[in-house]
Amino acid sequence: MPSFDISSKVDAQTLDNAINVAKREILNRWDFKDSKSTVELNKKDLVINITTENDMRLDAILDAIHSRMIKQGLDPRSLDEKKAHYPSGPFIKKDITARQGIDVESSKKILKDIKESKIKVTAQRMDEIIRVSSKNIDDLQKVIALCSKGNYDVPLQFVNMK
């Protein structure tokens, strides 16, 4: 029976490349001259640690990271920026995690949309992915089109088409 998986993963090497290019871009900007701002990526946990002097520079760093991610082919929605920045002496620090997998709320929303579409498929949540199977490949392609149009909080990849 044909099937595919809906997942949400970030390639660690591509993210590392995007962060490194954003760091070089920030160092060359005139408004960051004599700044002690740092941007580091913890490759193991996929956490971006940003340290800077004020909110304006923090916004500029985030903008540079987002633009580099888009140019590298990564979706900025994969970053979890909900955690607020916090002061640390004369600096502001912010930790941003890269989401791996589909969270429970988003998967419920995706499953609900698939079920309401009345397409003859079976979809089930398996840890951090959603497996969709059907007797007809055309139905699977309709589900891919449906999920591509959907507005979810995470970027989706469609993998393991069998």
pLDDT in the model for residue 152 = 84
Task: Tell me the pLDDT tens digit for each residue of 53-76.
Answer: 888 889 999 999 999 999 999 999
pLDDT in the model for residue 139 = 87
Percentage of the chain exceeding pLDDT 90: 36
Between 61 and 34, residue with greater pLDDT = 61
Q: Report the distance separating Cα 144 and Cα 115, nearest Å.
A: 13
Q: Report the distance separating Cα 162 and Cα 159, nearest Å.
A: 9
pLDDT in the model for residue 131 = 92
Task: Tell me the pLDDT tens digit for each residue of 95-147.
Answer: 999 988 888 888 899 999 989 888 899 989 988 899 999 898 888 888 899 98
Residue 158: how many other CB atoms lie within 10 Å: 16
Structure tokens at 103: 């969270």
Binning pLDDT at 50, 70 and 90, where does residue 85 land? confident
Does the model's pTM come out above 0.75? yes
pLDDT in the model for residue 13 = 93
Task: Provide Rg for the chain, Cα atoms.
Answer: 19
Per-residue 3-state assignment (H helix, E strand, C coil) for the chain = CCEEEEECCCCHHHHHHHHHHHHHHHHCCHHHCCCCCEEEEECCCCEEEEEECCHHHHHHHHHHHHHHHHHCCCCHHHEECCCCCEEECCEEEEEEEECCCCCHHHHHHHHHHHHHCCCCCEEEEECCEEEEECCCHHHHHHHHHHHHHCCCCCCCEEECCC
Domains and CATH numbers, the chain: 3-8+101-159 (3.30.70.860), 12-98 (3.30.70.990)
80 residue type, one letter: D
pLDDT in the model for residue 61 = 93
**Between the CA of residue 75 and those of 68, 71, 101, 153, what are the distances in Å?**
10, 9, 14, 11
